[in-house]
Structure 1
């Protein structure tokens, strides 16, 4: 079936009724799914006369097309859309979550590997926040996961300046109103107090602008570090700062309830090497300046799921695990247990043979 040609003349070139009854998808959506550009960028390309359908130049995005239609952009044929794909990205602090920044600041897209296809972010992390950010090549996946109705828990580790108590945190657990805006109840746990700062684990099910920072300010606390560790079933795990890892298609299909063109779920891409070394600051996340803050997760975070399922056999736990990896006085290079003591204090050593 050929594309539905919009009527000529002033005014809108398609009605809501036409859009709902016509077969196929809007041309901007098709171009977006094919990786040509975002929907808004595709609409601008159409208005600039760069897009042709079945050899005819179009000037309005109010057009539905089907797989049988031949689409070209700048006289280059547009291929079939890729199946939905998703990536995990460990966003560093100091990058803007946008394609272009009006202030000229560096964006996450400047940090992504050069071999990445055109992707969109699912939700945002503000300039000074870091941690897990989901990426996708499909606008439908993006919109689905950003809807509040999804109800996925987003977990964060927050370092706050102050001495929080249960009494201070209780309003956050009940739901708080900040500047006339109602925030849903948060799961807030006090992990530890470190001098003038404290570490909290926070879980929320909505993504309002600077929600955690604003809520903490309302109860007298200032957030000076914020790390997202999970987004629904997806975990930051051991992904290092600046690294990107693509999810298996089977995981994308199962978690999102999608029907993929490749139902085998066997296609997988190994973690993509970062284009430049990750930027780390002295005492950063997992560094020597942050005792007790591992790269993978905090003490109260849920452990990331293992790829093969189940639990690792003979895995060290708790203090025993720490004891096996900690450096001990007198340890031999590469030793786990630290070697044998030289003798009891005050001993003169072994007696010479007679």
Structure 2
């Protein structure tokens, strides 16, 4: 283990910053872990941490909410077909069913890469690696999120095309959105939507801005990963070879010892 320098990389002998260590162990993102530390929920060797500038070395015991956190396992990425009616959180204060309660059995603790709201469905990427989640969520990754949207109302195709220049809705500015009419039947229509940021309820808010009511929202792709024919409620692991091809710097957290 090494000491972290001013750029956040290891460079000496004190170990690894606890937020980075816990993120790699799949607890949560770095930001969420730092918040947990501020809330007094994290212990290092039995002592409640007071600040995130703490380091973990081999043999240290880390607890979150009283549970001992195992060291980082190999990085895993899964495609999950989220049904409507589930919230993308580990615990919901309103008692609604969550994605993580409905996952197939036998999976490790996972966190989501981005979110889908309660009534949205489709592709949700899950990982046990908080650092990977943080990396794939960042706009700098440049990955396009693609959706199919069923709406009710009159679809103005010129207004859809104009979204490519960005749009301001209730004082909030959204970046370029590619949107096109797929089909129309009576007052209902299907629209394909592609965007790079994917802010909270962005698609629904933009459709409402155009006078359209969203009745169904399905994410069909997140960057190079596709929903495809994955059944609702099913999770399928992305092979490490594929993950490496899409993110060349991603490596397994633990390698098998050489014979």
Query: Structure 1-normalised TM-score?
Result: 0.62
CA separation of 1:96/1:46 partners in 2, compared to 1, >3 Å: closer, same or farther?
closer
Task: Give the corresponding residue for 1:162.
Answer: 153
Deviation at 1:2, TM superposition (A): 9.1
Unaligned runs of 5+ in 1: 5-14, 265-354
| Matched residue SS, 2:91 | coil
Give the alignment partner of residue 124 of structure 1, picking from 112, 115, 140.
115
Q: Distance in 2 between matches of 1:232 and 1:17?
A: 28
1:59 aligns with 2:48: yes
Distance 2:42 2:154 in 1: 60
3-state SS, counterpart of residue 154 of structure 2: coil
Indicate which of 195, 208, 211 corresponds to 2:186.
195
Q: Pairwise mapping of residues 18-167 of structure 1 onto structure 2 (< 5 A)? A: 23=13, 24-35=15-26, 37-38=27-28, 40=32, 43-44=36-37, 47=40, 50-52=43-45, 57-60=46-49, 61-66=52-57, 69-73=58-62, 79-167=70-158
Change (3 A) 1:176 1:20: same
Query: What is the CA–CA distance in structure 1 between the aligned matches of 2:217 and 2:185, rounded to whole Å?
Result: 16
Between the two proteins, the alignment pairs up a number of residues equal to 247
Could you tell me which residue of structure 2 aligns to residue 177 of structure 1? Answer: 168
CA distances 1:307-342 after superposition (whole Å, capped 9, x unpaired): xxxxxxxxxxxxxxxxxxxxxxxxxxxxxxxxxxxx
> Could you say which structure has the higher strand fraction?
2
Displacement of 1:79: 4.7
SS state at 1:109 partner: coil
**Using the alignment, how far apart are the partners of 1:76 and 1:175 within structure 2?**
45
Do 2:113 and 2:133's aligned partners in 1 also have CA atoms closer than 8 Å? yes
Change (3 A) 1:249 1:76: same
Aligned to 1:219: 210
Contact 1:2 / 1:65 at 8 angstroms: preserved in 2?
A: no
SS of alignment partner, residue 227 of structure 1: strand
Cα RMSD after superposing both structures:
3.2
Of structures 1 and 2, the one with the larger relative CO (CA 8 A, separation 6+) is: 2
Q: Distance in 2 between matches of 1:171 and 1:256?
A: 33
Structure-to-structure mapping, 1:266-285, within 5 angstroms:
none
Alpha-carbon distance between aligned partners in 2 of 1:112 and 1:26, rounded to the nearest angstrom: 31
1:83 Cα deviation (Å)? Answer: 2.4
Return the offset for 1:173: 2.5
The worse-fitting range, judged by mean Cα deviation, of 37-46 and 151-160 is 37-46
**Contact 1:70–1:77 (CA<8 Å) still a contact in 2?**
no
